[in-house]
């Protein structure tokens, strides 16, 4: 407001001086010099005001995407700590207290498997908090009007302009519908798997018989399944196989191979 009044006063003053010069009350050349100086000052004021209030859209988007909320499934999954340790993750990791409470509830479960998963999630959370490369912060922000943890996470991510890290399929879909950026650890794992092409020779260990007659099943180091024709009965043996084809499933790629000659 004060800046606007100053600009108006300068404009009014210059106008009065020009009128006085035009009517012969003041000499024209000095008035012209003063008017030119005033216009330069006015232009500088406008440029400063514009620079102070204008925020480039790109900078706003970058700052809003520097945070990522971490949900319970990503903590229990365990791989997030390894990803953060590599240095590729450039987000400030945040865990709301309502996620921490849910994780504690899982860790206190009477079911042994569920209890073990919850405790692993707490261990991962603690390791991320003390990580020198990308420490995690627990925040108190809540969305009281939302009843479930998933809806709270989506609403809070929208409010803060943050991304959401999860491995939960349903939460992934809901967040995407609400225009929240989702970082799915499973998608990352699929993206960094080594490329295997038909005709390539691999060495795999057959770990079990397949569903179809004559098939054996092995796995690559990243967990990718390989179904080996004529592999039945070779459980426990490491064999050379030639990849014949691949299919995409909901869980990722699955390869088919035959025994190398």
Residues 250 and 218 both lie in one domain:
yes
In the listed set 135, 165, 191, which residue is the last one of a domain according to the structure? 191
Q: What is the pLDDT of residue 54?
A: 41
Q: What is the pLDDT of residue 9?
A: 59
Q: Which has more pLDDT, 65 or 157?
A: 157
Greatest mean pLDDT among 26-35, 48-57, 115-124, 243-252:
115-124
In a domain, 68, yes or no: yes
Asked if residue 193 has pLDDT above 80, the reply is: no
Q: Which has more pLDDT, 253 or 159?
A: 159
CA 131, CA 223: separation in Å to the nearest integer? 27
Residues 74 and 102 both lie in one domain:
yes
Q: What is the pLDDT of residue 228?
A: 93
Residue 210 per-residue DSSP state: -
Helix (H, G, I), strand (E, B) or coil at 226: strand
Residues 38 and 91 both lie in one domain:
no
Q: How confident is the model at residue 55 (pLDDT cuts 50, 70, 90)?
A: very low
Q: Is the pTM of this model over 0.85?
A: no
Share of the chain above pLDDT 70, in %: 74
Asked if residue 181 has pLDDT above 50, the reply is: yes
CA angle 161, 163, 165 (to 5 degrees): 155
Q: How confident is the model at residue 53 (pLDDT cuts 50, 70, 90)?
A: very low
Residues 74 and 180 both lie in one domain:
yes
Asked if residue 7 has pLDDT above 60, the reply is: no
Number of domains in the chain: 3
DSSP codes joined into one string, 10-22: HHHHHHHHHHHHH
> What tokens were used for 214?
């004559």
Q: Which domain holds residue 229?
A: 201-259
Quote the mean pLDDT of the chain.
80
Residues 243 and 197: beta-carbon distance below 8 Å = yes
In a domain, 196, yes or no: no
In the listed set 162, 191, 220, which residue is the last one of a domain according to the structure? 191
Residues 130 and 178 both lie in one domain:
yes
Residues 105 and 170 both lie in one domain:
yes
- Read off the pLDDT of each residue in 78-107 and give the average, rounded to a whole number: 90
Asked if residue 29 has pLDDT above 70, the reply is: no
In a domain, 235, yes or no: yes
Residues 187 and 206 both lie in one domain:
no
């Amino acid at each position: 407001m004060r800046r606007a009044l100053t600009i108006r006063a300068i404009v009014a003053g210059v106008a009065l001086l020009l009128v006085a010069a035009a009517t012969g009350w003041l000499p024209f050349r000095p008035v012209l010099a003063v008017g030119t100086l005033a216009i330069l000052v006015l232009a500088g004021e406008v440029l400063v005001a514009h620079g102070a209030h204008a925020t480039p859209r790109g900078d706003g988007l970058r700052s809003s995407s520097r945070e990522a909320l971490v949900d319970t499934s990503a903590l229990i999954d365990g791989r997030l700590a390894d990803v953060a340790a590599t240095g590729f993750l450039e987000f400030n990791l945040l865990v709301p207290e309502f996620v921490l409470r849910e994780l504690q509830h899982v860790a206190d479960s009477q079911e042994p498997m569920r209890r073990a998963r919850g405790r692993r999630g707490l261990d991962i959370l603690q390791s991320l908090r003390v990580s020198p490369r990308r420490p995690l912060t627990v925040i108190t922000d809540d969305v009281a009007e939302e009843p479930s943890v998933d809806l709270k996470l989506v609403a809070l991510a929208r409010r803060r302009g943050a991304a959401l890290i999860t491995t939960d399929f349903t939460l992934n879909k809901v967040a995407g519908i609400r225009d929240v950026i989702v970082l799915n650890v499973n998608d990352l794992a699929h993206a960094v798997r080594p490329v295997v092409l038909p005709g390539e020779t691999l060495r795999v260990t057959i770990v079990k018989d397949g569903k179809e007659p004559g098939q054996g099943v092995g796995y690559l180091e990243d967990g990718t399944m390989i179904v080996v024709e004529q592999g039945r009965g070779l459980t426990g043996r490491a064999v050379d196989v030639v990849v014949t084809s691949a299919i995409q499933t909901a869980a990722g790629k699955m390869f088919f191979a035959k025994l190398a000659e």
